[in-house]
Amino acid sequence: MFSDRLKTARKMAGLSLPQLAIKLGDISKQSLSNYENGKRKPDSKILLKLAKALGVKPDFFFRENTVQMKSFEYRKNSRLGKKEREMIEEKTKDQLERYLELENILNISSKFENPLNDFKIKIIEDVEKAALYLREEWELGQNPIKNLIENLEERGIKIIQIAEKKEFDGLAGYSGNIPFIVINKNIEDVVRKRMTIAHELGHLLLKPSRELNKKEIEQYCFRFAGAFLIPREVMQNELGKKRKHITSNELIHLKNEYGISVQGLIRRAKDLRIISEARYTDFCIKIRKDGWEKYELGNYNGDEKPIREKNLIYRAITEEIISISKAASILNRSVADLQGEMHILL
C-alpha cells in the first residue's frame, strides 16, 4: 500500500524521483526508488519528511487506492505533457477517493442514469436533438441554466476542481458507474467555465458513432455544449432565422441571460445558419487582429462552484458522525481553516 501511495503523492506533486530527492536533500533517489518498489519502508522521521515535501498528510500514505478510472481522453489539441497529465489524473483520483469516502461514511449512494445512453450520434444534427432531449428529461425546458454545476451534482455527477496551468480546461470520465467532470479551479471566467463543463458533459453522455474521428468528436461535443446552454429555439426567437448583421446589444443580453460568451453565441449563430460562414470568418479575423477582450462585452453575474461535498462535510460534523479533524483530513485542509468557516446556527 505505502509504495503505491508514495508514487501517487509524487505524481500529484508533479515531481520525478530525482526532483524529489533534490527537494528532500538527505534522501537519495535510490532510497526513494526502493520505497516506491516496496523493497524498503521508511521510518517515521523519513515518513514525515516525505509528507511535508509532497504536500500531503502522513495518513495519506496509508489510505487504500479505491478509485479506478475508466479511460478518458484529453482534448485533441491539449498541450499537456506526460508528467502534467499524470499529475492531473492522480489529483483527480485523490479527490474522488475523498468524496466517495465521505458518501460511504454517510451511507449515501448516488446512482446515475445516462438519459442519452441509447441516443445514437451519427451526424451533427443528432447532437442538437440530444441536447434538447436531455433538457426535456431533466425538466429544464428552454430556460437559462442558472447553476450548471449544482444541476449536475443533483443528478449524480461528481464535479472535481483542481488548480492547474491555463493549458488545462477540463476532462470527464467514469470510476466504475460513477461519472465525474474535472475542471480547472484557476479558470476565473464563469462563462468559460460553463462552456468547459457543458463540453465535458458531452464527452460524458454522448455515444458517438465509431466512424467519427477525435477531431469530429471534439466538434460534436462543442456543438452539444452550445445547444445545451442555449437551445436552437431560443436563438431563433431572439435573433431570427437569418441575419446579415447582429448588434452587440443583442449578444450581451443573451450572454447575461444564458451564461455563454459572445464568441460562443456567434459560433452558435453560425452553426444554426443564422449568420453565414463568411460573416463568422470575418468575426474570427477581427478577434485574431484586435484580441477577444474587445468583443467579449457584457457581464454574466452567475457563479459556478461545487458545493455538494462541502455541504455533506458540514452535515457529517454537525450530526457528530465524524470529528472535525476527520473532516479536515477528507478535505485535505487544516482543522483551523475548517473551524474558521463553520458557523453552526442551531
Q: In the prediction, which pLDDT does 61 show?
A: 87
CATH architecture of residue range(s) 2-105: Orthogonal Bundle (1.10)
Q: In the prediction, which pLDDT does 338 show?
A: 86
Over residues 257-286, the pLDDT tens digits come to 999 999 999 999 999 999 999 999 998 898
263 contacts 225 by C-beta, under 8 angstroms: no
Q: In the prediction, which pLDDT does 173 show?
A: 92
216 contacts 190 by C-beta, under 8 angstroms: no
- Burial of residue 124 (CB within 10 Å: 0-12, 13-18, 19+) is middle
- Cell numbers given for 289: 487582429
Listed as ranges, residues in the chain with pLDDT below 70 are 71-78, 295, 344-346
Separation of alpha carbons 96 and 306, rounded Å: 13
Count the alpha carbons within 13 Å of 242 in the hemisphere toward its beta carbon.
0
Q: In the prediction, which pLDDT does 82 show?
A: 84
Following CA atoms 279, 79, 208, 67 in sequence, which dihedral angle do they give, to the nearest 10 degrees? Answer: -140
Over residues 30-49, the pLDDT tens digits come to 989 988 888 888 888 999 99
What's the full length of the chain, in residues?
346
Q: Report long-range pairs for 219-223 (Cβ below 8 Å, ≥24 apart).
A: 219/124, 220/121, 220/124, 220/127, 222/267, 223/124, 223/127, 223/128, 223/271
User: How far, rounded to the nearest angstrom, does the alpha carbon of residue 320 sit from its chain's CA centroid?
Assistant: 31
Following CA atoms 95, 97, 100, 106 in sequence, which dihedral angle do they give, to the nearest 10 degrees? Answer: -100
Spatial CB neighbours of 51, under 8 Å, sequence gap ≥ 6: 57, 58, 60, 61
Q: Report long-range pairs for 39-43 (Cβ below 8 Å, ≥24 apart).
A: 41/2
Strands 170-175, 178-184: pairing is antiparallel
Q: Where are the domains of the chain?
A: 2-105, 120-294, 308-341
Positive or negative torsion for Cα 161, 162, 168, 170: negative
